[in-house]
Structure 1
């Protein structure tokens, strides 16, 4: 969240017509860093959209157990907020479009997107110890975003065969990517810094035995 605020500050400082979007879950909505970033964003009127992805469970803790006020879009003090159905593609498109325009003209805004995760928080979380399978199945049946878009497209004359073809192609693309990742060798140390710093940093890795190792950087390093 603070990194997003930093990016938004950079946009304003450089007079760039851009908006930063920082995303967090309902579990992180109570953390101090969020309020610190929110305060500075409001103080400096920086172009940022705070997006709370409310899937109603912070790991295994239901929102009503960790938040006195679970209407997260209202918890911005001097920062306005909106709530939308995060499982509705068109609703998300519309509300983000509005929020972008608002942030560019007036400063920070909060979006709470009401969503859901079907699986556990991690591989060690079965996802069914703190909620019922009936609840999960109901969400899949009634609110699945892909199925909702599919029904909308079909209702507006989109070809069913074309949709089926697209679905098959996407699944193959994902499967191919997974197989490629499984077959790939262990990456070199310097990959830890790819897409992190604009240029290679003079950084050392601390080893388990207490020693240090300076990684070999790729001479053709690209961010």
Structure 2
């Protein structure tokens, strides 16, 4: 049973935040050579959704995958090693930030192609339905995916066959540097998903408790045989689209907007709501930082892949 206590929800979000901040700091050393998309500011969605799942349930992600991987139970040592391209990485150093996979914890994969994992997740859900495994498949994607035809085809197929899949749209209002209103007509994404015959909900993606409650309802409905569910969570991306820095100098969003987005911090909001004691926060900060330090030491001391390691790991 997944621990969904307030202390654990807080710790999970804080852990993801501190890990990504450490990645941003060390990325400038030029030893992690893969492009990196950080989810700083969006942690509540990954934590709340994954807290509603069982270990055997399956998750697909996108280019902004670190939070999803960690929230699903992914191994931090293996993740950091993967970013450094080491043989001990979760993909043996082959994948990097945007191609992580760890089937031991049901993390089925991530790709940088917009909408690319949505049909894969639907295929997995169909296989689970045919085999009657009882597993729920979850796929995370951004608002930009609704401009991809395969996403609508996937929603249609999932609804038609009442597949056990949860679609989670992390709506941060941007596709790279372009606002959603400049890319899509003025209609809520969740209502468009609902038009495919899927039960859909829209909520605050910066409130981890709201995310957890909505995800629990959706997952219970799926397990009860009511078919696919769709959750749209509104959130805000703090850092640049791709990379470790802030990008307010580019002018596509104002300094005031960024400050407002950061002030709606999912972690600070939750601390205020549950009235955490400072001593508990200090202790958890220390434990998390020690874990992060050990993970970087593990990664940097790991072997780089050899030519022999390039063999296998492909499908015929």
TM range (shorter): 0.7 to 0.9
Q: TM-score, normalised by structure 2?
A: 0.56
Q: Which runs of 5+ in 1 are unaligned?
A: 194-198, 204-223
Residue aligned with 2:290, SS: helix
Matching residue of 1:107: 227
Residue aligned with 2:283, SS: helix
Measure how far apart 1:10 and its partner are: 1.5
Measure how far apart 1:67 and its partner are: 1.1
Matching residue of 1:85: 204
Asked if structure 2 preserves the Cα contact closer than 8 Å seen for 1:29 and 1:52, the reply is: no
Check 1:189–1:97 CA distance in 2 against 1; reply closer, same or farther (3 A cut): farther
1:149 aligns with 2:281: no
Q: Which has the higher relative contact order, 1 or 2, with Cα contacts under 8 A spaced 6 or more apart?
A: 2
- Of the three residues 257, 272, 293, the one matched with 1:135 is 257
Report the Cα distance in structure 1 between the residues aligned to 2:150 and 2:306, rounded to whole angstroms.
33
Q: Which runs of 5+ in 2 are unaligned?
A: 1-117
- Of the three residues 119, 144, 153, the one matched with 1:27 is 144
Report the Cα distance in structure 2 between the residues aligned to 1:167 and 1:179, rounded to whole angstroms.
18
Report the Cα distance in structure 2 between the residues aligned to 1:4 and 1:159, rounded to whole angstroms.
40
Matching residue of 2:292: 174
Residue aligned with 1:106, SS: coil
Measure how far apart 1:172 and its partner are: 3.1
Report the Cα distance in structure 2 between the residues aligned to 1:97 and 1:49, rounded to whole angstroms.
11
Matching residue of 1:210: none
Report the Cα distance in structure 1 between the residues aligned to 2:162 and 2:189, rounded to whole angstroms.
20
Report the Cα distance in structure 2 between the residues aligned to 1:3 and 1:188, rounded to whole angstroms.
30
Asked if structure 2 preserves the Cα contact closer than 8 Å seen for 1:26 and 1:54, the reply is: yes
Measure how far apart 1:202 and its partner are: 5.9
Structure of greater Rg: 1
Check 1:167–1:32 CA distance in 2 against 1; reply closer, same or farther (3 A cut): same
What is the correspondence of 1:9-88 to structure 2 with a 5 Å cutoff? 9-76=126-193, 77=195, 78-88=197-207
Asked if structure 2 preserves the Cα contact closer than 8 Å seen for 1:49 and 1:100, the reply is: yes
1:8 aligns with 2:135: no
Q: TM-score, normalised by structure 1?
A: 0.78
Report the Cα distance in structure 1 between the residues aligned to 2:238 and 2:230, rounded to whole angstroms.
25
TM-align CA RMSD: 2.3
For residues 73-99 of structure 1, the C-alpha deviation after alignment (integer angstroms, 9 at most, x for no partner) is 111222221001111010000000011
